[in-house]
């Protein structure tokens, strides 16, 4: 009678091989860099602790003072988070940001602190990434997402932080602006408004013809001559 011969390794050897494969795969996943941060090391930003979560899918903010807004700007997109009321700590998800380099503007009452986030790889949806923005000092306070606009590239001009010295831990980009407690609408108005003849800033002044075309005489009549 012929015997059936089983060729193979012992069961404990097979289990060991499977465990090794799982460990190797996990190690490869752990080595992936999804997001990087270039911190602001300027002394004016000393009170702001800004870190990535261990999974690189969230931005963790912890500040000595209250803050009300965090704004992400890239060449392709813009995303703004408002905190109402203002908070001292927050966890902001990064999984909805398209890949790219982002200037992050952190709005405190008396300054704007600037640093950089780079989104390098898409996240694995099977990892169960948490996509909810949370104000950590009050579990009932959530951020209002203002916009995610890909159609207005002129809003992303970094001239908004004119006269700000940039001082990053690894390069050339960052810091804090003092006495800039502008809300979003005031900020946009500051950089887009037309200047008239009474403005002391003569770098961008209307011509005499433009002024006469868009304004009335002191007696309320138009300039017709």
Residue 123 located in a structural domain: yes
Residue 124 located in a structural domain: yes
Q: How confident is the model at residue 205 (pLDDT cuts 50, 70, 90)?
A: low
Query: What's the pTM value of the predicted model, to 2 decimals?
Result: 0.51
Hey, how many other C-beta atoms are within 10 angstroms of the C-beta on 223? Answer: 13
Domain extent at residue 121: 35-181
Residues 84 and 162 in one domain: yes
* Pair of tokens at residue 54: 């261990």
Residue count (the chain):
225
Residue keyed to tokens 């000393």: 46
Residues 132 and 211 in one domain: no
Residues 107 and 211 in one domain: no
How far apart, in Å, do the first and last CA atoms of the chain sit?
A: 121
Of the listed ranges 27-36, 69-78, 120-129, 173-182, the least confidently predicted one is: 173-182
Domain count, the chain: 2
Residues 133 and 198 in one domain: no
Residues 123 and 171 in one domain: yes
Q: What are 113-150's pLDDT values in tens digits? A: 999 999 999 987 665 555 566 665 443 334 444 343 44
């Amino acid at each position: 009678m012929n015997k059936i011969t089983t060729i193979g390794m012992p069961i404990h050897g097979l289990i060991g091989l499977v465990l090794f494969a799982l460990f190797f795969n996990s190690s490869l996943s752990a080595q992936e860099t999804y997001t990087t941060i270039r911190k602001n090391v300027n002394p004016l930003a000393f009170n702001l602790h800004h870190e990535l979560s261990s999974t690189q899918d969230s931005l963790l903010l912890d500040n000595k003072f209250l803050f009300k807004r965090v704004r992400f700007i890239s060449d392709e997109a813009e995303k703004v988070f408002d905190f109402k009321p203002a908070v001292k700590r927050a966890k902001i998800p990064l999984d909805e940001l398209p890949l790219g380099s982002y200037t992050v503007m952190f709005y405190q009452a008396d300054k704007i602190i600037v640093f950089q986030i780079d989104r390098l790889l898409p996240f694995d949806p099977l990892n169960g990434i948490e996509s909810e923005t949370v104000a950590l000092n009050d579990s009932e306070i959530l951020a209002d997402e203002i916009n995610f606009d890909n159609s207005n590239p002129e809003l992303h001009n970094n001239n908004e932080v004119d006269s700000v010295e940039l001082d990053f831990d690894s390069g050339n980009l960052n810091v804090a602006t003092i006495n800039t407690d502008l809300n979003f609408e005031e900020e946009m108005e500051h950089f887009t408004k037309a200047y008239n003849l009474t403005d002391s800033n003569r770098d961008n002044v209307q011509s005499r013809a433009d002024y006469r075309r868009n304004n009335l005489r002191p007696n309320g009549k138009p300039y017709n001559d």
